Structure formats: structure tokens, C-alpha cells
Structure 1
Amino acid sequence: MRVVKRLERYLSAAFSLGRIKSMSKDAKREIAELRLELKALSQDLNDCQHQTLQELERMSTWMRRHESLADDLVSLSRRESEVLKRTGQSDTALLLRMFSDLSRRIDGDESGRPEAKPIRPTGLPSSKGFEMFKDAFYHRFENQWRGTPEEISQRLKVYLPDVEAAWVRTEHKPIFDIGCGRGEWLGLLRKHGMNGIGFDTNAMQMKDGQAAGLDLRLGDALEALAQAADGSLSVLSAHHLIEHLPFDSVAWLTREAGRVLAPGGLLLFETPNTRNVLVGATTFYTDPTHLKPMPEQVMGVLLETAGFDPVDIRHINPHERLGEFLDRPDFDNELAQLMFGPQDLAILGIKSKDT
């Protein structure tokens, strides 16, 4: 019996030792797995700390940068009285110009160059052949319905005194024309001793002007404008372009003009006058590439917001039959103006001189 009991104890001890070894092995495996998990958690924590430090550094840089912008605004505000005495600007125009400059710096680098490009309408997938087709259509459309180059040049002469004055004020810096088309405007400027650069996306439109030796360049004028140096232009002009663009692009173009124009430079827009009933109801929609009217109320406030001062809005190019209806005793003069009055709007803004 003693031998049997002793044997039982040995067997029980052996089984217990086996369980202990198995449990020890399981424990070692679990410890190894826990170590791996702990290592992974440690790595995640390090990565998180690193990302947090980077984010804090970015926030710190952003805060320092905007503190600098705020300091600039305070500094400019302190100089406001002196600036007003020298330039004769209104308080509102000066503050709006400072706001426009600062807003450009916020969405760009310290040189003021924008990171985002102006918004453009999107459409169907295009191809080189389809683009050529559209260019050919628009070239034919302009030739048939816009007027001859001689007629357009005659109409544009109204701007020569303003442009020449800006050209002289800025010591003959280049003139930049966006949407130059056939080049009538630049041809007129050349005849009066002023050279300019024109941009358009329609190669067919520019052929005659290029053959005549005008500097007409195929490409995106807004992208070219984004690359222009600060204060490098005397005049930025766009005749019958802004009605083809979404408002965001028009606003971007206006604000950017405040950067690229030299002090005393001129921003010149011409667009259809939809207060004329015939223009607003019919001829504006003759051009299928028109997006929306840009009325004087919108454009006047837009140029003021960009800091241009003064801003001059002119109603030009009345219908050829206006005089006939004004002379008729049985026709109301106000109605005659609404029907046959100025067909175009001119919006002119001067970049005030720096101190």
C-alpha cells in the first residue's frame, strides 16, 4: 500500500509539473505577445508625439506669421494720417487697400503670390480637335457680329487719355491686356507710342495681330498675371472679358491687379451695360460664352474693396438711333435712354501712390 500511495504521489507530481511547464510556456508566449503590443504602442505614441510637435510648430509658425500681419496692419494704421495728407485718399479706400494686400499675403507666401488659382467653369471633357472647332466658331462669330477692327479701334480711342496718363505716371511700365482677341486695342496703343502685351486662348483670333507685329501671346492670361512681378505694370485692361468669367475669377483678377500695377497704374474693364434694355434682354445673350452680367453696382464695390481710388464708372457707346428718338416729341426721353442709351460700361480704377 505504501508503494502504491507513493507511486500515486509521484504520478500526481509529474502531472502537476507538466501543467506548470505548459502554463509557463503559455505565459512566456503571452509575455512575448504583450511585449510586441507594447512596442507597437510605444511606436504609435512616438509617432503621435512627433505629429503633435509638428502640428504645434505649424500652429506656432501660423501664429507668428499672422502676428506679423497684424503688426503690419497696426503699423500701416499709425501711418494713415501721413498717407492721407500725401495722397488725398479717403480713409475707407486706404483701409480697404490694406485689407486687400493682407488678404493676398494670407492665402499666399510672404511675397504675396497666390497659392490657389482662380476658379473657372468646368464642362465636358475636351480635346484638341474640339478646342480648334470652338476657336474657329468664335473667330467667325466675332468677325460677323462684333464689328470690324477699324470700328472697334475707333470706339477704344475714348480710353487713350486715361491710359497715357497712367503710362506716364508709372514711367512707361508695360501694358497688359487680357483677352486681347484680334489685338485692336494694342494696335491702337502702338500707334500712340505705347507698347503692350496681349494674352488670349484663341489662336485664330490673334493671327492677324501677330502678323502685324503685335506682341500677342497664346495662353492663360490669369496664370500669366499670377507670375507677374509686384508693381510691374502701368495698365491692366480687359475689354469684354469679365462677363465670360465666374465671379470668383473676376474678384481674384481685381485683387491681383492691386499687386501687379505700379502706384498710379490703371485697371480698366469694359463690359456690356445691361441697364440698356435691348442689351440686357437680347444682345448680351447673343454671345453663348457669356456667363452673367457684371453690373456697375457690383464692379464699383469690387474695385473699391480692392483698394482702388478713385473708381470711375462711365456709360459709353450709345446706340446709333439714340439721337433720333430723343428728338421725337412723341417719345419719352427716359425711355429712349433705357432702350437706346449707352450699350457698354467702363470701370476704371487707379492704384493709389505708395508713400
Structure 2
Amino acid sequence: MEHENQEKPKVDMGRIMEQVRSRIEEKKKIGQYSSEELERIDRMTLQIQSEDSDPQEGDIQYQLSQINYLCDTGRPPEISSHRKVLGSLVTGFKKILRKLTEPYIQMVLKRQVEFNVELVRLLNQMTLDFRYRWSILEKEMTLLQKRGEQVTQSLEAIPQELKTQKNVFEEVLSQIKTIKNPVVELDSRLDDLKSKIREPEYVRFEELHRGSEEAVKWKQKNFLSYFKDRGPVLDIGCGRGEFLELLKEAGIPASGVDTNQEMVRQCRAKGLEAVHQDGLVHLRGLPDQSLGGIFLSQVIEHLEPEALRELVRVSFAKLRPGGILLAETINPQCLSTFSGAFYLDLSHKNPIHPEAARYLWESFGFRQMELLYVSPFPEEMKLKEMVRREDDSYEDELARILNENVRSLNALIYGFQDYAVVGYK
């Protein structure tokens, strides 16, 4: 039983057939086979090849073996007889008859035989060429199949690699966010700290150079009538709340907004409604057509041109029909302002010409434009006028006033071109 269960050794038929073919070729070369035996060998070889091939190729091999066998129509067929008693006599007679008729038959079939031989030789060559090309094609197909499998494996690995890279990217992004949040928070705290440091400083600057609250209120009374029956009013850059107080005293609903927290604190201490926020941000957060008026005093010269354009555009959207946008600023048509008010404040950015302001207001839809010129210079600061006198002192007085005017103009136009600031501790 153990012997029966043992696997039988595999027989390599390909190697055996190759050995048989090699021996047959050797015997062919030394002439051991007759022509009839060679014919049988060729036919058997083609038959074996056809059996080893796939069905379609096997059909071709079989047909080719038949053609090779039948191509020589002049080849004498084998002579045999099925009769047992008279077989040898019949066979001998047939051979004698074939010898007598063969010259005539060969003469007729010679050209056909030559044609058949050439045709079969061509078919054999084409078959060999086909086999050669087919073997190369099979090798290339095998190589392409292997490459295709490699490409498929590579493509299958790509999603996993992408997933790995995505995980790495997300981890790095998470780390960046983890680092960014404290940095942003720290930056915000630094901004708040800077603001808290600067805010009291700017309050002192206002008190020193802009004037007292009473002086500012006295000047801003000129604008109060424009907001009568137009509440609610928003005061952007409300500062210490001078105009908010005037509106409250006039019974006009109003609120203010300022980026300076110290000034907002002062407004609230007076019982005024004020918010610590950027004015444009606060304005954007209000409903459209919710305001009757918007007031800005000494604000627009602090803005960049694009920010000013956006402020006017948003203001138009937030005002009701008939609402008013009134902005007071330094008049650059008065040259002396550049030697005083404008460049005195370090936060001023651009002087706004009255006609530029008019154009900007109109370009965003405002109508019935007015330009109000306020805050005239005191008479004692203006150039003096000469009054005609009849006495002898006229010429002396004329010279005195003329020289005084010249000194004023020289100080304004031809003053010192540079300056140096010095401080001691």
C-alpha cells in the first residue's frame, strides 16, 4: 500500500521528444532511412506537433503535414495487396506496370510536382516564421503581463501611500494649529497691551492739543441742527463724548463707538452709550436703514483711502432715506493747518480736500451736498488791514502793519525748514 501511495515520478515528455528528434536527425544525415521511411517520419513529426499544439494551431499543423505528404504527386505510392494467396503475384505485377508507365506520368506531372514543392516549401517557411514571431510575441506578452502586474501593484499601493501622507500632513497641520493658537492669543494680548499703553497717552494728547471738552462742544454745536428729528445717531470715533452729550441734551437718541477703551470708559462714566470696537466693524453689524444720522469728528483723516471709501459705502447702506452722513475734518485749503493741527497728530494719514470728499459722497449715492467751513482763525492771528489816516503818523503806521504782516507770512511760508527735538532725563 505504501508503494501504491507513493507518487509516480513525472515524465518529461518534451525532453524525451527532443532526444528522439535529435537521434532521427543524426540517422537522416548518415542515410539510414529510405525515402518512404523519411516520409513517414516527417508525417509522424508533424502529427505529433499538431497534437501538442492548441486546437487551432493543431489543425494548421495537421493540414501542413498533409500538404507535405501529398505535394510530390510524382512520388510512387506504396504497392501492396490484401490477398493472402495471390498477394505477392499481384504486387509484382503492379510494380512492373508502374515501371512501364512511370516515365510518361512523370513527364506530365513534373511541372505540377515542382510547383507543389515550391508552394509547400513556402508554406513551411511561413509556418516556421510564424512560429518564431509567435514565440517572440508570447515572450513580449509575458513581459507585458509581468509589467502590468507590477503597475497594478504600484497603483494598489498608491492609495495606502496617499493615506499615509494624508495622516502625516494632518498631524503636521494639527501641530501647526496647536502652535498657532497660543501665538495668535499672545499676539492679541500684545495688541491689547499696546492699546492699553497708548490709550491714556492719546487721551492726554487730546486734552493738551485739541482743547477742553467745553471748547470742543462749543465748536460742535454748529452741527447739532443737522441731526434734529433724525435719531438714532451713531457717533463714530466719539472720543470723550462731547457730541454725544450735545445730542443727549437735545433729546436725540444716539450711541458712540471708539477704538480707545479709556475714552469709552469716560463716556460711560457720563451716562453715555458707547462701545469699544472698530467703527467700521460696528457699522457693518447694524441692520440696513437703521440709522438716521452718522457723525464723524476728526476721524476720516486717520483712514487709508480704501477704508474711507468702504466707510462711506457702508454708511449709505445703514442710513434711512433722508439720513445724513456728516464728517468734520481738517481743511487742507488752509495752508496753516499743515504747520499746526494736521501734522501735530502722529496718527493722521491723509488730508482730505473738500472737493474730494464731495465727490466721494456723491459717488456712493448721497445728494444735496453741502460743504461747511468751520473753526475760523481768530482775527488777531490774521494779517492786519491798514486804515487810512489824515495825520502825519499814517506812513509810520502803514510801515508797522506791513512789516507785521510780512513777519507773519515769513513765519508761515518761510519758517525754519527743519527741527530737532531734545529731551533730558
Contact 1:273 1:280 (C-alpha < 8 Å) held by counterparts: no
Q: Which has the higher contact order (CA 8 A, sep 6+)?
A: 1
3-state DSSP of counterpart to 2:370: strand
Structure 2 residue 202 is the aligned partner of structure 1 residue 138? yes
- 1:5-20 aligned at under 5 Å gives the runs none
Contact 2:294 2:315 (C-alpha < 8 Å) held by counterparts: yes
CA distance in 2, matches of 1:276, 1:317: 11
Contact 1:231 1:263 (C-alpha < 8 Å) held by counterparts: yes
Structure 2 residue 249 is the aligned partner of structure 1 residue 161? no
Of residues 243, 247, 269, the one that matches 1:189 is 247
CA distance in 2, matches of 1:303, 1:217: 26
Contact 1:153 1:184 (C-alpha < 8 Å) held by counterparts: yes
- 1:33-182 aligned at under 5 Å gives the runs 127-164=191-228, 167=230, 172=231, 174-182=232-240
2:144 maps to 27
Provide TM-score, normalisation by structure 1. 0.60
Contact 2:257 2:264 (C-alpha < 8 Å) held by counterparts: no
Q: Which amino acid aligns with 2:297?
A: H
CA distance in 1, matches of 2:345, 2:210: 10
CA-CA distance at 1:200 after TM superposition: 0.4
Cα deviation per residue 1:276-334 (whole Å; 9 max; x = unaligned)? 1210233210000000101102101111111111110111111223586455554699x
Of residues 286, 290, 293, the one that matches 1:235 is 293
Cα deviation per residue 1:250-272 (whole Å; 9 max; x = unaligned)? 11111111111001101000000
CA distance in 1, matches of 2:281, 2:289: 17
CA-CA distance at 1:22 after TM superposition: 4.3
CA distance in 1, matches of 2:270, 2:320: 29
Provide TM-score, normalisation by structure 2. 0.51
Greater strand fraction, Structure 1 or Structure 2: 1
CA-CA distance at 1:25 after TM superposition: 2.3
Greater helix fraction, Structure 1 or Structure 2: 2
Contact 2:289 2:320 (C-alpha < 8 Å) held by counterparts: yes
- From the superposition, tell whether residues 197 and 17 of structure 1 become closer, same or farther in structure 2 (CA, over 3 Å): same
Contact 1:177 1:196 (C-alpha < 8 Å) held by counterparts: yes
Structure 2 residue 371 is the aligned partner of structure 1 residue 313? yes
Contact 2:235 2:296 (C-alpha < 8 Å) held by counterparts: yes
1:266 maps to 324
3-state DSSP of counterpart to 2:255: strand
Structure 2 residue 303 is the aligned partner of structure 1 residue 245? yes
CA distance in 2, matches of 1:228, 1:299: 24
2:358 maps to 300
1:284 maps to 342
Contact 1:139 1:205 (C-alpha < 8 Å) held by counterparts: yes
Contact 2:235 2:294 (C-alpha < 8 Å) held by counterparts: yes
- From the superposition, tell whether residues 36 and 322 of structure 1 become closer, same or farther in structure 2 (CA, over 3 Å): farther
Contact 1:136 1:204 (C-alpha < 8 Å) held by counterparts: yes
CA distance in 1, matches of 2:132, 2:320: 96
What percent of counterpart residues are identical? 26
Q: Which amino acid aligns with 2:328?
A: E
- From the superposition, tell whether residues 6 and 221 of structure 1 become closer, same or farther in structure 2 (CA, over 3 Å): farther
Structure 2 residue 226 is the aligned partner of structure 1 residue 208? no
Task: Please identify the structure whose Cα radius of gyration is greater.
Answer: 2
1:55 maps to none
CA-CA distance at 1:131 after TM superposition: 1.7
Cα deviation per residue 1:153-173 (whole Å; 9 max; x = unaligned)? 1111101111115x1xxxx4x
CA distance in 2, matches of 1:142, 1:7: 121
Q: Which amino acid aligns with 2:22?
A: V
Instruction: Give the number of aligned pairs.
Output: 245
- From the superposition, tell whether residues 160 and 20 of structure 1 become closer, same or farther in structure 2 (CA, over 3 Å): closer
- From the superposition, tell whether residues 285 and 24 of structure 1 become closer, same or farther in structure 2 (CA, over 3 Å): same
Q: Which amino acid aligns with 1:23?
A: E
3-state DSSP of counterpart to 2:365: coil
Contact 2:236 2:279 (C-alpha < 8 Å) held by counterparts: yes
CA distance in 2, matches of 1:23, 1:7: 31
Cα deviation per residue 1:187-232 (whole Å; 9 max; x = unaligned)? 1110010121100010112222211110011011101111211111
CA distance in 2, matches of 1:34, 1:2: 43
CA distance in 1, matches of 2:252, 2:268: 17
CA-CA distance at 1:19 after TM superposition: 6.5
Which deviates further from its counterpart, 200-209 or 323-332? 323-332
Q: Which amino acid aligns with 1:149?
A: E
3-state DSSP of counterpart to 1:228: coil
Of residues 6, 19, 22, the one that matches 1:4 is 22
Which deviates further from its counterpart, 324-333 or 205-214? 324-333
Which deviates further from its counterpart, 19-28 or 309-318? 19-28
3-state DSSP of counterpart to 2:352: coil
- From the superposition, tell whether residues 285 and 4 of structure 1 become closer, same or farther in structure 2 (CA, over 3 Å): same
Q: Give the gaps of 5 or more residues in structure 1.
A: 40-124, 341-355
CA distance in 1, matches of 2:209, 2:274: 22
Q: Give the gaps of 5 or more residues in structure 2.
A: 1-18, 27-44, 50-127, 157-188, 388-400, 413-425
